Amino acid sequence: MALFSLFPLYCLIAAAALVYFPYGFVAAGRITVGLDLAAPRAMFDKLPPYAQRATWAHQNAWESFILFGAAALMACITQQDTDWVQGWLLAHLVARFLYAIFYIANIPILRSASWAVGTAATGIIMLACVGLGR
């Protein structure tokens, strides 16, 4: 298998890392309210609003990762190494990074737009893999 065909798998690894990106903000919030290792989930209501939003961004990232993981594996298996598919793989990653930023910064309209782009990118990749895309 050529290195070029591994591109979807590299994107999958990057997407897995993006799941944890918002959690750095959660950790910072936990430090500001006093870390309670005995009851870490009970701390949620005490977290600053940005850290609460970061928690929600982290949870949503898991939901997105499941579908993107399937799409990336489909692209790898069907050897969709076109610029079209690779562009949408990257678009998903950028959109999901921005989604977390906009969620934490409390900019709902941009958060929703980046969610839509990331979700559309995943759908377009899947359609391309079954022959319905470009």
- 108: CATH: 1.20.120.550
22, 100 in Cβ contact below 8 A? yes
19's tokens: 């799941």
Q: Is residue 134 part of a domain?
A: no
**Residue span of the structural domain in which 63 resides:** 3-129
The torsion region of residue 124 among left (phi > 0), alpha (psi -120 to 50) and beta comes to: alpha
Residue 29 lies in a domain: yes
**Model's pTM, two decimal places?**
0.89
pLDDT the model gives residue 129: 93
Residue 116 lies in a domain: yes
**pLDDT of 12 higher than 70:** yes
Q: Is residue 97 part of a domain?
A: yes
Nearest alpha carbon to residue 55 among 17, 25, 32 = 25
Alpha-carbon span 91 to 83, nearest angstrom: 12
The answer to the question of residue 82 being in a domain is: yes
88 touches 9 (CB < 8 A): no
More confident residue, 113 or 38: 113
Q: For the chain, what is the domain count?
A: 1
Whole-number pLDDT of residue 134: 61
Compute the mean pLDDT over every residue in the chain, rounded to the nearest whole number.
Answer: 90
Q: Does 13 map to a domain?
A: yes
Integer Cα distance of 112 and 14 in angstroms = 21
Q: Is residue 88 part of a domain?
A: yes
Q: Is residue 63 part of a domain?
A: yes
